[in-house]
Structure 1
Amino acid sequence: MREPSSRASEESGPVLETVGDGVVLVRVRGSLDGWAGSAELVEALTGVADGGVRRTVVDLSDVDFSDSAGLHALLRGQRKHDQAGATLVVAGPLSANVRRLFEVTGTLGAFHFANDVDAAING
């Protein structure tokens, strides 16, 4: 299993890491909402998609809360990846709060999900 990079514990925004040929891991920690993280996540995901990546893994395993702004950031990233012909995978395990956001908004079907980062990278 991959260990979080030392940068991940020092930074509050998404941390990008190239983990394979054309595969980028985007680690998100804490809250993903209108106050923290969502704007940075949109920026990271659109930048990665524009960079010619073939797969982006968004690690939400350390996200304890997300609201509609966080969901909107993921949806914008998904749309940008679709336009670029790339795959975006959301990796967990997801907290109950985050999973519930996908469930109540009916957006579970809008994303590819993996149980953990390794499965998302290799899947």
Structure 2
Amino acid sequence: MFSWHVFRQGGRSRQRRRAWGVVTDLSTLAVLGIFVAAYFDRCTPTPVRYVNPFGYTCKDGQYLMWKYQYNRLKNVWYWAGRTMTWLSVFRVCTPVMVLWIYGLSVGEGYTAWLLSRPVMARFLAPLAYNVFVMQM
């Protein structure tokens, strides 16, 4: 009964739809910002056994250490530091994604407009199901 009153169409439904469009666009920017920050992060918490007054170790240039030294990092401190920190941040995105999906179902905002374009709807959307099945 409560959900019927909350989501019913009425005189203010157009304002609500616009508000959900704004929420959808802001949540899109928030999630993209988190992904960009995770990609460009080059600082890691310093291991306990090393002394560093600032507590962080920052690397210059491309951070491709995982590709070449995977076994060493797996056993030392990498997985307990940087990776787990960003995995925790990505978990924070889950409630934002719930708002994002509902906002997309309303159909307002620039994100819904972009994802409803023919290129996305006809060509890329059918591929999403195959990726979903492949992950199972």
More helix by share: 2
TM-score normalised by L of structure 1: 0.26
More strand by share: 1
Task: Between the two structures, name the one with larger relative contact order (CA 8 Å, sep ≥ 6).
Answer: 2
Structure label with greater radius of gyration: 2
